[in-house]
Structure 1
């Protein structure tokens, strides 16, 4: 059974029990990233959206590359992802409607507090060069996520990722990658949202932040119903519009970890 059918069937069954006969609330499938899920953002946002609209959102949390693939197959109604180049290509190819940037956070380089590679500072490219020069262990997500693709861009600027056992691709989500880095005393690139919610830090600390290249925008896109007529485009558009509305932007701004904001709302006209 396809993932979409299972998610929609399960969601509809759960919701119908609580709804009046013949009035089951609409359910949409959102393909999104592990960072938005693991940070707790959806637990904060989605109940507010459902209260405002009556629409239930079922999240498939994977890497951005996988989320885009799911949407290309028509197995999602909307996206909330963070790889601008891939998102723009997705829209240009006719798979999605307008890209709407709704929030931003940043990437951080984390690693052992003692920083044996001397990576600490404000320049991500210089930090990666130092890590490579001493063959310090580095954990890559290796999963085509937005974080993995950003990491690959930074390594390209630094002259290439190191070869050999020092560079480890886990093929996993952000939380798992941080767990591996904590266990190995390794460096890794993380999104700030997942780092803020990560508790198994061991000796890890933020070593590089503030570089303008570490900016990490998130955009919402409705899957094109002309490609996939079964897509619930109207309900998906309401979700995207709500994220970009004053109410949605305020909800994003109010999401905090340890008292600190995790995402900054950026939609125009909020």
Structure 2
């Protein structure tokens, strides 16, 4: 009798919880910057209220996020490594890639700027760090930021790991910045995470922005639906609602409105078509 009563209470509780059904839960794999910056925490309650869909996510480097999706352990992606994303879609792992927002990468380093690179171009700055053996901390985790960094070193015709002071953190952006601060070294970071890091560090932050504004530092974010043809359990309909929500004008405005101490972290640039 007691067991029956308990079962009725549990079922009744679930019935009264509008978002409790597994079918209304969407799994996203995303990059650490969307979480570390606070953007997801800001947008998730709005998404749930407006769509009735509960969003869950794992925040890792973009490379790992794409692997999670290939293994059919996510329904959607929010990532920032365009070349890797296009390869992912071309290989049939994802569909309907749509850009949603951007910010930029910056090079940060000790306030003393031992390599003397402040205000230089990205290629000149990386060359200066390498020549001065001033120290550089890389994420080293195949994230979008790490992939962008590797591309920048290649464009500068430099093999960075020949420098004994080139360190691979193998961790997220916040941990990498902490390591750079400890070693008084330079690092590449997305601006959104940097603003969050600098705010938390306050006057104790030994790092400053030394290079910014270069076109090579543009940082695009996109959403992608995992291909249901390869992953039959993907919640395609919910994923479509997710993508439509991100490109909607009202959501784009919310992205623009998200600021930390008056500083805008992301800039909306949605396009309605797929494959951008």
TM over 0.5: yes
Per-residue CA distance 1:100-134 (angstroms, 9 max, x = gap): 00000000000001101011114111000000001
Larger Rg: 2
Q: Cα distance, 1:25 vs. partner?
A: 6.5
Partner of 1:73: 71
- 2:79 & 2:27 partners in 1: Cα distance? 14
Verify the 8 A CA contact 2:98 2:271 in the aligned structure 1: no
User: For the structure 1 residues 50 and 183, does the alpha-carbon distance in structure 2 shift closer, same or farther, using more than 3 Å as the test?
Assistant: same
Higher helix share: 2
Verify the 8 A CA contact 1:110 1:208 in the aligned structure 2: yes
- 1:264 & 1:37 partners in 2: Cα distance? 16
- 2:69 & 2:171 partners in 1: Cα distance? 20
Verify the 8 A CA contact 1:31 1:71 in the aligned structure 2: yes
Q: Does 1:214 align with 2:217?
A: yes
| SS of residue in 2 equivalent to 1:267 | coil
Q: Does 1:130 align with 2:128?
A: yes
Moved over 6 A (4+): none
User: For the structure 1 residues 21 and 162, does the alpha-carbon distance in structure 2 shift closer, same or farther, using more than 3 Å as the test?
Assistant: closer
25-34 vs 123-132, which moves further: 25-34
| SS of residue in 2 equivalent to 1:90 | helix
Partner of 2:152: 154
Q: Number of residues paired by the alignment?
A: 257
Verify the 8 A CA contact 2:134 2:165 in the aligned structure 1: yes
- 2:124 & 2:61 partners in 1: Cα distance? 26
- 1:173 & 1:21 partners in 2: Cα distance? 31
- 2:72 & 2:248 partners in 1: Cα distance? 26
User: For the structure 1 residues 68 and 22, does the alpha-carbon distance in structure 2 shift closer, same or farther, using more than 3 Å as the test?
Assistant: closer
| SS of residue in 1 equivalent to 2:155 | helix
Q: Cα distance, 1:165 vs. partner?
A: 2.5
Q: Does 1:86 align with 2:89?
A: no
Residue 254 (structure 2) aligned to one of 251, 254, 264: 251
User: For the structure 1 residues 167 and 237, does the alpha-carbon distance in structure 2 shift closer, same or farther, using more than 3 Å as the test?
Assistant: same
Q: Which blocks of at least 5 consecutive residues in structure 1 are unaligned?
A: 1-14
Q: Could you tell me the TM-score, scaled by structure 1's length?
A: 0.91
Q: Cα distance, 1:20 vs. partner?
A: 5.1
Q: Which blocks of at least 5 consecutive residues in structure 2 are unaligned?
A: 1-12
Partner of 1:184: 183
Per-residue CA distance 1:165-216 (angstroms, 9 max, x = gap): 3000010000000000011111000000100100236210000000001000
Verify the 8 A CA contact 2:130 2:163 in the aligned structure 1: no
| SS of residue in 1 equivalent to 2:222 | strand
